[in-house]
């Protein structure tokens, strides 16, 4: 009987573990960043594939909403950037039929949606809040956004910027939010207008909106935190 522990056998068995060497690539400094970026891009792709536009994020009873004072303020820089509230309008451009400036009154004239949803921060905390605003989908229809366009991008009064896949933008709970707890949005939470997206992490829900662009191509600066290493997709 052949010796099952002949060196030729054990060598062959060891070689069968060679796929492990692929993981060793992560230890090579020159490859590490590219491999990790590929990992995050793969995760983002899987997240987008998993996304169902008709699936609603959980909504909650009024009793489950945290008191307004306990809903955290979170900003990357200043909570009250300089904004000309009297002259404010959302500038809309790109692949839309009716580009131009849209006042808060025009946005308020769209059917209002009020929803109690969970706001989840990438840091791990969350808070259930009450939000009111216009459906982003209704607004995209109002401005005549190209239904085949892939993304919307926004810029903000605090130099923040974000972009969003069109599937999420058209999800029925995605809001152009101008109210919290049935009162006009306060400055720290993004007055006069912010994105409120129950299917995205907090950093995707840009505040202090100034411009919106409908596009097929993401700009170089596509997401304030995404550009620094967070997932661009940021979906929940």
Residues that bind other proteins (CB under 8 A): 4-5, 9-10, 13-14, 16-17, 19-20, 23, 26, 35-40, 42-43, 47, 50-52, 55-58, 66, 69-72, 118, 120-127, 198-199, 225, 228-231, 235-236
d(CA 189, CA 180): 9
Minimum CB distance to other proteins smaller for 53 or for 93: 53
Peptide bond between residue 192 and the one before it cis (omega within 30 degrees of 0): yes
Least Cβ distance, residue 103 to other proteins (angstroms): 32
Three-state SS at 78: coil
Minimum CB distance to other proteins smaller for 37 or for 103: 37
Least Cβ distance, residue 51 to other proteins (angstroms): 6
User: Scanning the structure block, which residue is given the tokens 């959302």?
Assistant: 90
Minimum CB distance to other proteins smaller for 19 or for 87: 19
Minimum CB distance to other proteins smaller for 133 or for 235: 235
d(CA 102, CA 158): 19
Under 8 Å CB-to-CB from 141, ≥6 apart: which residues?
Answer: none
Least Cβ distance, residue 183 to other proteins (angstroms): 18
Least Cβ distance, residue 29 to other proteins (angstroms): 13
Of 230, 214, 183, 185, the closest CA to residue 76 belongs to 230
* Beta strands, E only, 168-236: 175-180, 183-184, 194-196, 209-215
- Beta 209-215 vs 90-94: how paired, if at all? parallel
Minimum CB distance to other proteins smaller for 94 or for 200: 200
d(CA 62, CA 56): 18
Least Cβ distance, residue 57 to other proteins (angstroms): 4
Minimum CB distance to other proteins smaller for 49 or for 82: 49
Least Cβ distance, residue 121 to other proteins (angstroms): 7
Three-state SS at 232: coil
């Amino acid at each position: 009987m052949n010796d099952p522990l002949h060196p030729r056998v054990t060598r062959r068995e060891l070689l069968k573990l060679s796929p492990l060497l692929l993981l060793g690539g992560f230890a090579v400094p020159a490859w590490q960043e590219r491999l990790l970026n590929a990992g995050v891009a793969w995760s983002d792709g899987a997240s987008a594939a998993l996304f169902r536009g008709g699936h609603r994020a959980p909504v909650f009873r009024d009793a489950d909403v945290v008191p307004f004072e306990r809903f955290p303020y979170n900003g990357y820089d200043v909570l009250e950037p300089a904004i000309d509230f009297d002259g404010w309008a959302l500038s809309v451009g790109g692949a839309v039929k009716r580009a131009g400036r849209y006042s808060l009154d025009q946005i308020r004239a769209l059917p209002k949606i009020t929803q109690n949803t969970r706001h989840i921060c990438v840091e791990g905390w969350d808070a259930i809040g009450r939000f009111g605003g216009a459906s982003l989908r209704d607004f995209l229809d109002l401005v005549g956004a190209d239904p085949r366009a892939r993304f919307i991008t926004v810029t903000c009064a605090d130099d923040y910027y974000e972009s969003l896949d069109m599937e999420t933008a058209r999800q029925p709970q995605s809001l152009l939010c101008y109210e919290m707890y049935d009162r006009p949005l306060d400055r720290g939470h993004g007055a006069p207008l912010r994105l409120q997206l129950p299917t995205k992490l907090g950093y995707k829900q840009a505040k202090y909106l100034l411009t919106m662009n409908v596009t097929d191509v993401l700009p170089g600066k596509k997401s304030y935190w995404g550009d620094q290493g967070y997932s661009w997709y940021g979906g929940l």
